[in-house]
Amino acid sequence: MNQNIHSINNSSIIDEKIPKGYKKTSVGTIPEDWSVKTLGKLGEFKNGLNKSSGDFGSGQEMVNLNDVFEKRSLNSLDSFSTMVKCNQKEINEYSLKQGDVLFVRSSVKPEGVGLTTLIEEDLNDKVYSGFIIRYRDKGDDLELYYKKYCFDATYFRRKLLNYSTISANTNINQKSLEKLEVIIPSKAEQKEIASILSVWDKAIELKEKLIEQKKEQKKGLMQKLLTGEVRLPGFGLDWKEVRLGSILKERKETGYDHLELLAITSRNGVVRRTEVDIKDNSSENKSKYKRILPNDIGYNTMRMWQGVSGVSKYEGIVSPAYTILKPTEKVSSDFIGHLFKLPKVINLFRRYSQGLVNDTLNLKYENLKVIKVFIPTDIREQKSIAEILECIDKEINTLQRELELLKEQKKGLMQLLLTGKVRVKV
């Protein structure tokens, strides 16, 4: 990823003096030969197409919110799941041409509003949703692929969020977008900046694909190993059918509010509450919170049918909304932890849950304990299976950390390149 770039004097930035060859602007200090313009002067905006529910299901392909959230650029190779009936006038009016940029108009989470995707080439006979605003250049100030990155710059996103409004969702409108300013380097530098950042995009994309491959590999192994379809060498004893209540007892210990607060997530299992990036809605009075010990299995009583469970590495307390299971000496808790993620077992959890609709489904211990599963008779086989699956989990976690590092590197590099603190040699 080494590129031909050089930095301005860092001490000058720290002293907040304007370095030689730079100038002060409304968006910060930038190179003298760069300019700043509002998007209203650079182009024009248009809200997307709104149709009644009866118009959806057939007709033209429509770019929707999920398409913008999932991909930072779109081309003719992409297909779109949303279809809508529209006439030729609407197709012409809500067309998508090379160089257009789509902004997310409304988002449940503030960080989602104003995210963009670049239209890399004409998307003939395709339209875009009313939840999206289209930006189209009036001139040629911005290079095609520079537009993939410049609207992600820290200075731009900060101002965009300041201009957004919050009701049920966070929203941005055309008038606010028109007032936003963007830094414009020379055309040659725009191309080089985009080229450098695309290297990081490619590395991120490859890492994401590798993670998905590892996850698929794990799914296949889980299906084979956790069902006995494939046996490990050295183990010949039969598997047996057991009721979960015979191998897992409920732990209902309260009054341990001095212990650390934990949470149970679908992705990472039992974690420290401080590691969860959501608002803490726990009660101040934690006397009724349940104690959980290392090797216990905790699960969300209301979301067990979605696989929200995990094996604890810690001693702590969890919300009364969780159920805590204490394994007997007959089973490996790690094996059961993986078994509880197997799709066929999760389907059993759903079947035994009580409630009329998904939002009210719950699986209390009294219902869980009668569920039957097959497990190896030899606990050593259980442990060996768990060890293999945990090795893959460690690989995936390592790849996830590498992915986050790449994203942080790209974010830092964008801040430097898009403001001119680091100049590219053209």
The domain that contains 206 carries what CATH number? 1.10.287.1120
Q: What's the rounded Cα separation, in Å, for the pair 134 and 114?
A: 11
CA pair distance 143, 194, nearest whole angstrom: 9
Among residues 144, 163, 184, the one where a domain terminates is 184
Residues 40 and 174 in one domain: yes
- DSSP state letter for 168: S
Query: In 36-123, which ranges are continuous DSSP H helix?
Result: 39-42, 65-70, 88-93
Nearest to 155 by CA among 34, 56, 250: 34
In a shared domain, residues 110 and 218:
no
Whether residue 12 sits in one domain with residue 135: no
Residue 246 maps to a domain: yes
Whether residue 69 is found in the same domain as residue 162? yes
Going from the C-alpha of 350 to that of each of 94, 303, 304, 364, the distances in angstroms are 43, 9, 7, 12
22 domain residue, yes or no: no
Q: Given 362, 377, 392, which residue is the final one in a domain?
A: 377
Which domain covers residue 164, as residue numbers? 35-184
Note whether 245 and 220 are same-domain residues: no
Same domain, 243 and 373: yes
Same domain membership, residue 296 and residue 193: no
Do 232 and 384 meet the contact criterion of CB atoms below 8 Å apart?
yes
Give dist(CA 243, CA 50) in Å, integer: 53
Q: Are residues 243 and 334 in the same domain?
A: yes
* 137 domain residue, yes or no: yes
> Side chain identity at 97, as an amino acid letter?
K
Whether 26 maps to a domain, the answer reads: no
Instruction: State the amino acid at position 73 in one-letter form.
Output: S
Residue 177 lies in a domain: yes
0.85 exceeded by the pTM?
no
Residue 28 lies in a domain: no
Residue 123 resides in a domain: yes
CATH code, domain carrying 307: 3.90.220.20
Q: One digit per residue, pLDDT tens: the chain, 426 residues? A: 555 555 444 434 444 688 899 999 999 999 999 999 999 999 999 999 999 989 999 999 999 999 999 899 999 999 898 999 999 999 999 999 999 999 999 998 888 999 999 999 999 899 999 999 999 999 999 999 999 999 999 999 999 999 999 888 889 999 999 999 999 999 999 999 999 999 999 999 999 999 999 999 999 999 999 999 999 999 989 999 999 999 999 999 999 999 999 999 988 899 998 887 666 666 678 889 999 999 999 999 999 999 999 999 999 999 999 999 999 999 999 999 999 999 999 999 999 999 887 778 999 999 999 999 999 999 999 999 999 999 999 999 999 999 999 999 999 999 999 999 999 988
Domain shared by 89 and 3, yes or no: no
Cβ contact 179:38 at 8 Å: yes
Looking at the fold, whether 175 and 53 belong to one and the same domain comes out as: yes
Cα(97)–Cα(87) distance, rounded to whole angstroms?
A: 18
Looking at the DSSP bridge assignments, the partners of residue 374 are 241
Fill in the DSSP letter of residue 379. H
Same domain, 157 and 195: no
Number of folded domains in the chain? Answer: 3
**Assigned domain for 25 exists:** no
Residues 232 and 252 in one domain: no
